[in-house]
């Protein structure tokens, strides 16, 4: 069974999971938020497969945090539980997660592995399946957005946070 390492990258209203065998110097988009997470729209902790990848992240400058040294062991094609502790789950927060399985430096539409179709509660607990082609270390993005789903991993939104 092939084991993969997942490294998480966090940012306001967006979360990224990082699994990459290529150079870490790939230039992934860095999404922005106009108002950021100042109204408590963001992530304070992300856990996958029982491994805490970020904790106490709160509201960061630019609403983006990259956790490139934190990782969790997972296997391609397998499904895992994850949890996200939100700063404030009263504010109609939505969660979207992408994994750049093909390691091309782009979070493609087909790389969306989890998305809440309605506002989530605190903590938000879900499952995601690691793509079968995710071999080695890959990057994951976790994005939280206020009042609507984040369909684009790179777009500018008003409120939220991104990690990884």
The per-residue pLDDT for range 101-148, each reduced to its tens digit, is 999 999 998 999 999 999 887 788 999 999 999 988 888 888 888 777
Is residue 81's pLDDT more than 90? Answer: yes
Higher pLDDT, 86 or 58: 86
Against a cut of 0.85, is the pTM above it?
no
State the DSSP code for 135: -
Interatomic CA distance for residues 82 and 7, integer angstroms: 14
48-72 average pLDDT score: 71
Residue tagged 């700063």 (tokens):
87
Give the lowest-confidence range in 37-41, 83-87, 94-98, 155-159: 37-41
Tokens 């150079």 locate to 23
Which range (1-5, 42-46, 88-92, 106-110) has the least confidence? 1-5
Strands (E), 19-136: 33-36, 43-48, 51-55, 64-65, 71-75, 79-86, 93-99, 112-115, 124-129
Sign of CA dihedral 106, 86, 35, 163: negative
The ranges assigned to domains in the chain are 3-163
């Amino acid at each position: 069974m092939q084991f993969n390492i997942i490294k998480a990258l966090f940012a306001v209203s967006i979360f990224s999971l990082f699994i990459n065998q290529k150079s870490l110097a790939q230039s992934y988009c860095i999404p922005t938020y106009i108002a950021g997470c100042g109204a408590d729209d963001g992530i304070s902790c992300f856990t996958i497969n029982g491994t805490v990848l970020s904790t106490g992240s709160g509201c960061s400058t630019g609403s983006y945090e990259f956790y490139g040294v934190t990782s969790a062991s997972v296997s391609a094609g397998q499904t895992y539980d994850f949890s996200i502790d939100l700063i404030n789950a009263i504010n109609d927060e939505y969660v979207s997660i992408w994994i750049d399985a093909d390691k091309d430096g782009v979070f493609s539409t087909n790389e969306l592995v989890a998305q809440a179709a309605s506002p989530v509660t605190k903590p938000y607990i879900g499952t995601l399946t690691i793509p079968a082609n995710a071999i080695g270390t890959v990057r994951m993005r976790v994005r939280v957005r206020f009042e609507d789903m984040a369909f684009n991993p790179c777009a500018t939104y008003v409120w939220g946070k991104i990690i990884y």
